[in-house]
Amino acid sequence: AARASDGLTGPAGSRLSGTSVARIGAPGWEGVWRLAAAAMIVLALCQMAALCRSTPGQVMRPGGFGEFAGTPGGGRLLLAGGLLLIGGARLTFLLLFAVGVLGLLAIFMGTPREARPRVLGYRGDGPAAVWIGRFVDGRLPPLPAVIVGLLVTGMLAALGLQSLPGILVLTPVEAMLLASLATWHAHYGPRDWMVPPLLQAGEYWFLAALGFAKHVPPTATFALLAAIALYHLDLAYRARNELVPSQDGPFVREEGQLSYSDRAGFGWDGRMIVCGLAAVAGIASVIYPLLALYLVGLMGRDWLAGWSAGHAAVDG
């Protein structure tokens, strides 16, 4: 029973039960869920980074270890299944997290191709971020602002959000809003393709740390992070293929030019603000699953709209 409760089973996991490995993340199944969330986050970031580096119309293949660690494939599924049988859930997610981090570093360290896509629409900015960016009008480069915001958010999350009283829980959100200063920048720099995955890493980090610090059920925290990861990738593919059908779509036109403002999904900024305010009000355990269901429903609606439009085009 002790082995099952720490997520270490199988021939390798049984030997690690009772060691420091059983306490990584947190003891018991809460730690297993934290490792599962971490492994899922780095996988989503690998996929976004690979997408940002590739050019439209090109198969998304970062190559080498980055391809194995970060893009959809049977090799990683076989690895996860084998690890689960040998070491249990905790060891599986721990090793998948390590593989994902190495894959992400391999993608970041790779040389970008000469033809880079416009990655502004991959950011997932919300109305608040777009509004803040208007004051700068694209004059600031995006990468430094994102790095500063990510570092501050990461340090505060590592120190523990449970130690921040009241409205101070929103301090990491304010730090990440520095990235809003570049929402109107063209993102054509040699390393600007790194901005979307780094920006989304700050969102994931904050929401995961907030959920676990405020005792949101681990299943609800994982569900929200997974829904946001799928939603980010859906928005990126829509921006990549210029799917901007109307004002009801995920992107809108502001003052005659395309602004990738995710009004329907609130944007990364809106979601961080909503969840932060929910934590201050003590209702994060309610908001997390509701927001996850809302994003899944939003993606389902967009899929049905696209499917219906495709059939109408064929019938016409």
> DSSP per residue over 228-259, as a string?
HHHHHHHHHHHHHTT---STTSS-EEETTEEE
- Asked if 218 contacts 166 with a C-beta cutoff of 8 angstroms, the reply is no
111 secondary structure, DSSP code: P
Q: How confident is the model at residue 312 (pLDDT cuts 50, 70, 90)?
A: low
- Asked if 43 contacts 107 with a C-beta cutoff of 8 angstroms, the reply is no
Q: How far is CA 269 from CA 87, 169, 286, in A?
A: 38, 14, 19
* 227-273 residue pLDDT tens: 999 999 998 888 887 765 444 444 444 444 445 678 889 999 999 99
- The Cα 142–Cα 112 span in angstroms is 17
CB neighbours of 198 closer than 8 A, spacing ≥ 6?
143, 146, 147, 150
Averaged pLDDT for residues 69-75: 58
First-to-final CA distance of the chain: 62
CB neighbours of 180 closer than 8 A, spacing ≥ 6?
125, 128, 129, 130, 132, 133, 269
More confident residue, 291 or 64: 291
> 264's torsion region: left (phi>0), alpha (psi -120 to 50) or beta?
alpha
Look at residue 118 and tell me whether its pLDDT is greater than 70.
no
CB neighbours of 89 closer than 8 A, spacing ≥ 6?
7, 9, 32, 36
Averaged pLDDT for residues 76-80: 76
Lowest pLDDT segment from 192-206, 257-271, 293-307: 257-271
What are the tokens at 285?
Answer: 């355990």
- Asked if 295 contacts 289 with a C-beta cutoff of 8 angstroms, the reply is no
More confident residue, 65 or 8: 8
Q: Are strands 252-254 and 257-259 parallel, antiparallel or unpaired?
A: antiparallel
Chain centroid offset of residue 75 CA: 22
Residues carrying CATH 1.20.120.1760, the chain: 120-316
Averaged pLDDT for residues 79-104: 87
User: From the CB of residue 287, how many other CB atoms can be counted at a distance below 10 Å?
Assistant: 20
Backbone angles phi, psi at 254, to 5 degrees: -115, 120
Averaged pLDDT for residues 39-49: 93
What are residue 258's DSSP bridge partners?
253
63 secondary structure, DSSP code: -
> Across the chain, what does the average pLDDT equal?
81
What are the tokens at 102?
Answer: 């190495």
Tell whether the torsion through CA atoms of 116, 119, 122 and 123 is positive or negative. positive
Share of the chain above pLDDT 70, in %: 79
What are the tokens at 171?
Answer: 């301090």
> 79's torsion region: left (phi>0), alpha (psi -120 to 50) or beta?
alpha
pLDDT given for residue 108 in this prediction: 87
More confident residue, 121 or 76: 121
Q: How far is CA 12 from CA 27, 90, 94, 135, in A?
A: 18, 11, 13, 56
- Tell me which fold the domain 120-316 belongs to: Four Helix Bundle (Hemerythrin (Met), subunit A) (1.20.120)
What does pTM read for this prediction? Answer: 0.87
Lowest pLDDT segment from 16-30, 37-51, 228-242, 275-289: 16-30
Task: Tell me which residue of 173, 157, 140 sits closest to 278, measured CA to CA.
Answer: 173
Look at residue 107 and tell me whether its pLDDT is greater than 50.
yes
- The Cα 142–Cα 133 span in angstroms is 11
Q: How far is CA 177 from CA 54, 148, 235, in A?
A: 27, 10, 20
Tokens 């599924």 locate to 77
Lowest pLDDT segment from 43-52, 62-71, 242-251: 242-251
